[in-house]
Amino acid sequence: MTDLADATRHLLCQRIHRFVLVLERFRRNPNRREAYHILSAIESVREGRYEAGLEAVRAAEHVDPIPDGLALLPGLHDDMTAAELRQALRAVVRPASGGAPADTAPELGK
């Protein structure tokens, strides 16, 4: 990865982490719109589409609607908890196979 991609990935992981942290501080779970967009952002980290991930975080922050074709479909985002979002982010940042890479461990802050 380039330095710009690494910096963008780090920024995206921090934004997702902060979003989940706010949910945890207010002791509430995300609504289905927030969960949908944050899960999309986490998937974008996994796929290396960092700009799309940043857009997804912005959509979660503004509680943008779920895209029309998916709004009525049941999905993981329906009953997601803040703890499950944090676990999903950790799974991407700290892959289960071999622990955390040295450059990504501070991204979660916990």
In angstroms, rounded to a whole number, what is the distance separating the alpha carbons of residues 25 and 14?
A: 16
- Whether 28 maps to a domain, the answer reads yes
Reading the chain (110 residues) residue by residue, the pLDDT tens digits are 578 889 999 999 999 999 999 999 999 999 999 999 999 999 999 999 999 999 999 999 999 998 887 777 777 778 899 999 999 999 999 875 555 444 444 445 54
**Tokens 């780090």, located at residue:** 10
pLDDT at residue 110, rounded to an integer:
44
- Whether 109 maps to a domain, the answer reads no
- Whether 103 maps to a domain, the answer reads no
Number of domains in the chain: 1
- Whether 110 maps to a domain, the answer reads no
- Whether 101 maps to a domain, the answer reads no
CA atoms lying within 13 Å on the CB side of residue 23:
22
Residue ranges making up the domain that contains 41 = 3-95
Mark out the alpha helices in 1-110 (DSSP H runs).
3-25, 32-47, 50-61, 68-71, 82-93
